[in-house]
Amino acid sequence: MSERVIIVGAGLAGLTAAYELTRAGFDVQVFEARNRVGGRVKTVFLEAEQHGELGAEFVDEDHTALMSYAAQFNLTLEPALKFPDDLGYYIDGIFSTQKTLSSQQQVSLNDAYEQLDQLLEQRADPEQTLAQWLAANSITPFAHKVISQQSYGLYTADPDAIGAGFFAYSGTSGDRTLRIRGGNTQLTSAFARFLGERIHLNTPIVRIGQKQQALSVSLKTLQGQQVEVLSDSIVVTVPWSVLRHLSIEVGLTQAQREAISYLPYGVSVKTLLQYPKRFWQPSSFGILVTDTPYQTIWESTLTQPGEAGILAYTSSGKPSRNVTEFDVELAQKTISTLYPNAPSASASATHDWGADPWSRGSYCYFAPGDLKNWRSKLPYFAGRVIFAGEHTAEVEYCGYMEGAIRSGQRAADQILAFRE
């Protein structure tokens, strides 16, 4: 008889673990609270068959695990951004590109990034928030504002909350950033097709426990009934912002319980606006760092055909409290400050990840000292209960699809090791 494995969550971590364990001959069942697979991967289609990402979006050059699955499923990766050429800034009402920055601005940015690189090289995790670190190191006002806005854009976290040591891991690992052609749900859908009826949607887990020699989960069915399912192993992939609200009745250490209760998550509202024509052409829009309520804006349709184009707007942290879902007017006003002749959007879509009950945030970040105090030493298992998800990945991959995938692979490997 095949060993039974329950996967809690059908995001990329859960789908990866389920895929690998199914191929290895395990009896796998995946329970997902949402009515779709993908978790924080969410591609949406607007008019003219164009699409954008309301969730996870970018693939860096060293995201080899994701690239490997893309190759297995015959998916194509295509250009999204090139660094630093595609970076722009809208700070204090002035629009600048890499080419139009003053020499003083460029030097100040380079100096700040070099100091952050030193933190990374030293694996330093000072007891300072990013805001405190910027003030203590006399970073110039321009560089201070750019890096503060990048805290929102990269980690959806306030600079006065995120640890300086964790922020030092930010940025891409190469010159290019990529996307999956046709949208990132191409990947999650490929996993789902392979797994088929092993995936159970609209089935939230309310309890993880133990019954005699077996592990158990209690779940709610579509009919509202609570059902208990037994298993030999469980892989828990839901964000800890959600997990901390469930009943966990297995032998966790005090450090694990504290981490699950404490790990902070950023909040973000992501909005896509589609315009009848790409008024920002002939040049690529790239990615714009701003000190407006939308800290980052970029083009979603760089390689997509048609005259229409989609811009993605993200508002994160405390500023996102003033951005409501479908706040098209505010996004339109923001872009009109840069392009006064910008047309009105013809279609839109949005998602507030902080208000989403099955994510309760965008993705994790680490407060000052957490990398040193518990992150690097925390075991991501309790007996045969394995924890996965981007929050359990290597630090440089936290918040990325790559991190979720690698954590799913690690969870599968741990369960395979139980056989030995």
Annotated binding site for substrate, which residues?
Answer: 313
* Binding-site entries for FAD: 32-33
d(CA 160, CA 162): 6
What is the distance between the alpha carbons of residues 334 and 121, in angstroms, rounded to a whole number? Answer: 38
Instruction: List strands edge to edge, sheet with 4-8.
Output: 199-200, 27-31, 4-8, 233-236, 385-387, 381-382
Q: Is the peptide bond before 84 cis (omega within 30 degrees of 0)?
A: yes
Measured CA to CA, the distance from residue 180 to residue 32 in angstroms comes to: 24
Nearest C-alpha neighbor of 294 from the set 152, 107, 135, 95? 152
- Separation between Cα atoms, residue 301 and residue 311, nearest integer Å: 8
As a dihedral over the C-alpha atoms of residue 36, residue 38, residue 41, residue 46, rounded to 10 degrees, the angle is -40
The DSSP secondary structure of 136-181, one letter per residue, reads: HTT--HHHHHHHHHHHHHHHS--TTTSBHHHHTT-S-SSSEEEEET
93, 144, 247 from 334: Cα distances, Å = 11, 21, 43
- Residues marked as binding? 32-33, 313
Q: What one-letter code names the amino acid at 146?
A: V
- Which amino acid would we find at residue 119? L
